[in-house]
Each structure stands twice: as C-alpha cells, then as structure tokens.
Amino acid sequence: MVIVRSDSLTVDNPRFQGFVESIFEEITGLGTDVVEGGFHFYLVGQELLVSEDRRSTLIPLTMAGNPDEAHERIDEIHEVAHQFDGREGFQVLVTGEATLSKDFIEISEDDLLTGEMFGVPIALVIMVVVFGAVVASFVPLLIAFVSIALALGVAAIIGQVFTLSVFVQNMATLIGLAVGIDYSLFILERFREERAIGRDKGDAVVRAAATAGRAVFFSGMTVMLALLGLFFVPTDLFWSLAIGAILVVAAAVLASLTLLPAVLYVLGDRVNALKLPLLGRSQGESREMNSGVWDRIARGVMRYPAVSLVLAAGILIAAGVSYLDINTNLAGVSVLPEKALAKDGFELLDRDFFGGISSPIEIVIDGEADSEAVQAGIEGLRTSLAEDSAFGAALVEVNNARDLTLLTVVAAGDPSSSESSQRIQNLRDRIIPQAFTGAPAEVLVTGVAAKTTDFTETVDRLQPTVFAFVLGLSFLLLMLIFRSILVPLKAIIMNLLSVGAAYGILVLVVQEGYGNDFFGFTQVEAIESWLPLFMFAVLFGLSMDYHVFLLSRLRERFDEHGDNSEAIAFGIRSTGKIITGAALIMVAVFGGFAMGDMVLFQQMGFGLAVAILLDATIVRSVLVPSTMKLLGRANWYLPNWLNWLPELQVEASELSPDPES
C-alpha cells in the first residue's frame, strides 16, 4: 500500500493526478515479477481510496510471488517511494504486510546483534571474575557458539520441510548463549576443583564429566521436556520457538559432554593460564572449607528457617500480585520502533483513512445469497457496522454460484491491537448473531485482527494443559533423579513462586510503565500473548538447572555423612559462587536482548532476566536452605511402594577414591 499526501493540493487537482500516475507508472514498470497488479483512484474512481480531506490517496498493490518473495522484492517499491517522497511537496510512504514483515525481520536481526554485543562481553567479564583466569573464561564461550551453530544448522534443514518463524535465530542465540555457557561453566569448575585436590588430568576430566556432566545431562533433559509442552499450542510461532530452543539445548548438552572434555584434556592446567590477581578461587582452595559468604548465608538462614521461609515467600508473592492485571495481545505495527519503514506509513494511513484498510476484516457468509433471510442479515449487518464509527465501508462480493458472500470491512486502528480484538469478539458474539437470527447461513470472521484474536484465545485455552504437562513431567523427572516425593514438590512450588514474581514485575514495568524510562522500554497496553506461556516453559526448565546442580551436591554430602544441616551448608557454599556467576551470565545475555528496539524482545529479555535473578538469589539462597532445614531427613522420603524406581545418580561419588586416600 503506497500512500500519497499533499498539504496544499487535493486529489481533484491535475498536478495531484499527474504525480500519482507517475508513481504508479514507475512501480508497474518494475515488472510483473515484482508487482502482480495494482490500481489507483484515477483508474477506478473509488472514493474509498481518498481521505476525507481529499489530500491523501492510496495506491493498493499486489506483490508477486509468495510472502518470502514479496519480502525480498519490497525494497524496489521502497526505492521508488523514496525517489518521489518530498518531490513537489508530496509525501510518499509505504506500508502493508510485506513492509511490516521486512521491518520485523531487519529489526530482529539488529536486536540480535545488540544482544550479542551487550551480553557476550559482560558474560566474559563475569567468567573472568568467577575463574580468575582469561583462558578458562573463553572455553564456555566456545561451547556456546558451537552449540548455536549446530542448532541453527539443524534448524535450517528442518526449515526446508516445515515453516519456521523468523525468530528461530534469535531464540537459538538467546537460549544457546545462556545454557551453553552455563553447562560448560559447571563442568569446567568441577574439573578445576578435581585438579585442585590432586587428581591427574585424565581422572579430573573423567570425574568432572561423571559428576557435573551427569547433572548437565539431567538438567538439559529437564529443560527439553519442559519445552515440549509448547507443542500443545498448534501454531507456527510456538512450534518454531520450541524447535529453536530444544535444538540449542540439545546441542549445548552434546557439546558439553563431548567437545568440552576433549578441550579440557588438551588444555590441562593451561585452562588456568593468564591468571588475574585477586580474582577467582586459588588453585589450592577447597570446597570443604566451612567458611565464606555462602556458608554464612546458609547457616544464617538455617538459624531462623521459618522466618526466612515466610519472608522470602512473601516477597515473591507480593511481586507476583500484579500478574492478575495482565493484558495480552500480539504485537503489531503500532509497537514497532520509530525507525520502522511500515510505521510512518501506518500512522499516516490511520490518520487519514482507517489503519486497518491494508488488513481488513473479512466476513464470510456461507448460505444462499438470494435468500431473503440472508439478504436481510447482510443488510442488518451493514447497518450495524455503519452505525459504529470504528468501522468504515463494507464491500460486498458474491461468488458465481451465489452460495458464498464476502463482506470486506475496514476498521480503525492497528489490526493487532486490543481494541481490534474486542471488535472481533463483538462482531462474533453480538452483531453477527443479531443480524442473522434465523437465517440459514453460517457466518465466519477472518483477517489479521481475527487471526490475532484467535491466537490469543488459543493460547489462553491451552495454558492449563501446558502447565499441567510441564509440572507433571518435571515432578516425575526430579522424583527419579532424587528418589524423593518432597524434593520435586518443593522445587515446583518454589519455581512457581519465582516465575509468578517475574510475571508480576514484567507487568509493572512493561504494561504499567513503572521504571520504563529507567530501562528505556516502550510502554505497551498489553504483554505479548505468547510470552507468559513461553516464559513458563523456558524458566521452569532453566531454573531446574540450578536446583539439580545444588541438590545433587547436597545429596552427595548427605549420603556421605547423614548430617542434614552440614549437607545444606555444603551444597550452598560449593555451588553458590558458580550458580551466582551462571545466573549473572544469563541475566547479562537476557538483558542484552532486552536492550533491543523490538518490544517483544524487550519483554522476553527483561522477563527472563528478572526470573533468573530471583531464582538464583531468593530461591537458592533462602527458600532452599530454609525448607530443607525444616523438613530434615523427610526431604528424602520415598514411599515403600515406589522403591522399584531406578536409582539415577546425578553426581557419581564412587568413581574413584580421593587422591589422599
């Protein structure tokens, strides 16, 4: 859709006509392989193509080929518009589906680069602080980039058979950087610990792979199983997001269990090369030392476990209350950044015409067009639409068999907005049923606004199914790993608290606008409708990572000594630094993507970053030790009738004796 406007001339002026005809001639001269067809006011005389003040007119165009080909060729239309824009005082802008698609793709690519440029350097700095050595800090980045490349390669093959969203690359990079660094971080740290207590290089690699490596495997399985829940939502977007995330998690697990041990064996102690003074744990420092900030935190919480539990849970519940006020919808052109080509054109279109003219509502009437009842229904519908200022003209078309009628209705505003969804619901629930009462016809509503409404309703309807699937699988997997009923139950409750708190904070900042200026986010009327469900699946999987790593170390010590308090303190202090480092890396990666221009990436990056931060701080440092202390040996309770369950050791403690023994 090309929009031509003059602030001094009307469409009745011959100069205006000549200008429009020149543009149209230039565009059609591009060939039928670019533009399949088009028309303008001076060809067809339709007043619908002229604004109320008669200073703007539309040139509707049909792009040749499929949507992908249209996206590739839309640049030629933009070049013509740019050549004519500003000439003789005329404004020439372009908007429509092809331009919108191009904007989404190009801005998402820019945001991907922004996320990497921000997240990767900060992640590197955090790893230097954690390891105290430059070489060790680059190893997790290597694993992450290999994982992303492998996942995108497989996704490219899948994309030859199935339609994948343009956001697969962003998703694979976002999740790949986070889990690729995290998984290799835990294995690398365990390798350095084993070398610190005297194991030779080969034994240290084997020990790290068999302990932290097992935890990585089970953590990756938990993440992938959680993401499988997204396949319950039968849309290309959810399936694409799930495929991209699952592929990169699988690639990260594979690289961490194969490539990483090989790299560690080749490097040996050179992994600690280029040490920085005062940073990282010294080579001789042992995790057995009953000291340090994490040991003090754990013992402080265990001194007042009930109070700690109530305070931590209260904070998370209070943060999550705002989630009750959430509004959801899909992003449209109105939430694009100012630099988007489609946005200027859409705003002019919405001001001078109806914003939905490029994506009208289509009402299909399946019934005999010559039936008096159907004719009365159509007239009643047109009358109702004419009485509502939100709707424009309704064009009526009937097929040759005269058993199918199409009403094309123009509506105001962004077709993806909440107002448009409300209009669709009003049409379906009130206006159409009233107009066609008793008529022998089936009336259906479609178009961009209807598809957006249907998508949101589908997500809302299937949300309980996905939640039940993710929670049920997580419970079963954790019960198998730790042979306990209470451990998986607590993990699920704590993860629900942290995810709920992240939802609430997301609503407060993005939807309500608190702190928007500080973060530089675009305030919107609604959160992306797919985001809460996607965040739930991803966060439930990722937060289980930390739970598995922490509890595996805790269970390892409990099995050795049988002292619950000492096992809790050991688990917290031996994983506190590395889990905090891993969490900060995830926050940096997710925060980097939140700095992009695309509203949906701002929401996703911010929501994930907040949830991971809450999970690695309040949950791991307060809720876990307080609940473990209160339950004591009951933590590991498993009913006798479940003793048949296999024993899945996450941290194998009997591989070989310590060097000192």
CATH code for position 613: 1.20.1640.10
- Amino acid type, 600: L
What is the sign, positive or negative, of the torsion defined by CA atoms of 278, 280, 282, 287?
positive
Q: Is the pLDDT of residue 657 over 70?
A: no
pLDDT at residue 288 in the model: 53
Last residue of a domain, one of 431, 446, 461: 446
Q: Based on the domain organization, do 301 and 431 belong to the same domain?
A: no
Lowest mean pLDDT among 161-175, 232-246, 581-595, 599-613: 161-175
Q: Which of 13 and 648 is assigned the larger pLDDT?
A: 13
Element (H, E) at 21: helix 14-28
- Could you tell me where the beta strands, DSSP code E, fall in 399-545? 404-411, 442-446, 527-528
Q: Based on the domain organization, do 532 and 629 belong to the same domain?
A: yes
Q: Based on the domain organization, do 179 and 300 belong to the same domain?
A: yes
Q: Which residues pair with 78 in a beta bridge?
A: none
The rounded distance, in Å, linking the Cα atoms of 398 and 365 is 9
pLDDT tens across 66-77, in order? 777 787 788 899
Q: Based on the domain organization, do 281 and 393 belong to the same domain?
A: no
Q: How far is CA 563 from each of CA 2, 554, 555, 557, 559, rounded to the nearest angstrom? A: 74, 10, 10, 8, 9
- Could you tell me where the beta strands, DSSP code E, fall in 484-641? 527-528
SS (H, E, C) 321-361: HHHHHCCEECCCHHHCCCCCHHHHHHHHHHHHCCHHHHCCE
Report the pLDDT averaged over residues 25-50: 87
- Amino acid type, 377: G
- Contact partners, residue 579, CB within 8 Å, separation at least 6: 546, 549, 550, 616, 620
Please provide residue 61's backbone torsions phi and psi, each rounded to the nearest 5 degrees: -130, 145
pLDDT tens across 309-358, in order? 999 999 999 999 999 988 887 777 766 777 777 777 877 877 777 656 76
The rounded distance, in Å, linking the Cα atoms of 97 and 171 is 23
Q: Share the mean pLDDT of the chain.
A: 85
Q: Residue 341 falls within a domain, yes or no?
A: no
pLDDT tens across 154-175, in order? 999 998 888 787 778 878 888 8
Residue pair 459/533 in contact (Cβ under 8 Å)? The answer is: yes
The rounded distance, in Å, linking the Cα atoms of 15 and 19 is 6
Q: Is the pLDDT of residue 37 over 90?
A: no
Lowest mean pLDDT among 2-11, 175-184, 295-304, 642-651: 642-651
Q: Based on the domain organization, do 442 and 456 belong to the same domain?
A: no
Q: Which of 360 and 231 is assigned the larger pLDDT?
A: 231
Q: Based on the domain organization, do 171 and 296 belong to the same domain?
A: yes
Q: Based on the domain organization, do 373 and 510 belong to the same domain?
A: no
Classified as helix, coil or strand, 163 is: coil
- Could you tell me where the beta strands, DSSP code E, fall in 332-450? 361-366, 391-398, 404-411, 442-446
Q: Based on the domain organization, do 384 and 318 belong to the same domain?
A: no
The rounded distance, in Å, linking the Cα atoms of 31 and 388 is 41
Q: Is the pLDDT of residue 289 over 70?
A: no
Q: Which of 336 and 464 is assigned the larger pLDDT?
A: 464
Classified as helix, coil or strand, 443 is: strand
Q: Based on the domain organization, do 141 and 245 belong to the same domain?
A: yes
Please provide residue 366's backbone torsions phi and psi, each rounded to the nearest 5 degrees: -95, 95
List the CATH number of the domain containing 61: 3.30.70
Q: Which residues pair with 361 in a beta bridge?
A: 409
Q: Residue 438 falls within a domain, yes or no?
A: yes
Q: Based on the domain organization, do 458 and 420 belong to the same domain?
A: no
What is residue 269's DSSP assignment?
G
User: Does the reported pTM lie above 0.75?
Assistant: yes
Q: Residue 590 falls within a domain, yes or no?
A: yes
The rounded distance, in Å, linking the Cα atoms of 601 and 610 is 14
pLDDT at residue 502 in the model: 93
pLDDT at residue 649 in the model: 61
Q: Is the pLDDT of residue 271 over 60?
A: yes
Q: What percent of the chain has pLDDT over 70?
A: 94
Pairing of strands 527-528, 328-329: parallel
Task: Pick the closest to residue 136 from 78, 96, 186 (CA basis).
Answer: 186
Q: Residue 108 falls within a domain, yes or no?
A: yes
Q: Which of 20 and 48 is assigned the larger pLDDT?
A: 20
Q: Based on the domain organization, do 231 and 373 belong to the same domain?
A: no
**Domains contained in the chain, number:** 3
Last residue of a domain, one of 75, 94, 113: 94
Q: Residue 373 falls within a domain, yes or no?
A: yes
Element (H, E) at 57: strand 56-59
Q: Residue 343 falls within a domain, yes or no?
A: no
Confidence of residue 305 (pLDDT cuts 50, 70, 90): very high
Q: Is the pLDDT of residue 190 over 80?
A: yes
Which runs of consecutive H residues, i.e. helices, occur in 95-200? 97-131, 134-158, 168-196
Confidence of residue 258 (pLDDT cuts 50, 70, 90): very high
Q: Residue 348 falls within a domain, yes or no?
A: no
List the CATH number of the domain containing 401: 3.30.70.360
Residue pair 645/328 in contact (Cβ under 8 Å)? The answer is: no
pLDDT tens across 622-653, in order? 999 999 999 988 888 888 888 887 766 655 54
Q: Residue 417 falls within a domain, yes or no?
A: yes
Report the pLDDT averaged over residues 24-48: 88
pLDDT at residue 419 in the model: 80
Last residue of a domain, one of 94, 121, 156: 94
- Contact partners, residue 364, CB within 8 Å, separation at least 6: 404, 405, 406, 443, 444, 445, 446
Confidence of residue 23 (pLDDT cuts 50, 70, 90): very high
Lowest mean pLDDT among 2-11, 388-397, 427-436, 602-611: 388-397
Quote the domain boundaries for residue 366: 360-446
Q: Based on the domain organization, do 483 and 611 belong to the same domain?
A: yes
pLDDT at residue 277 in the model: 66
Token digits of residue 515? 């702190």
Report the largest interatomic distance among the alpha carbons of the chain, rounded to a whole angstrom: 99
Token digits of residue 362? 């289509």
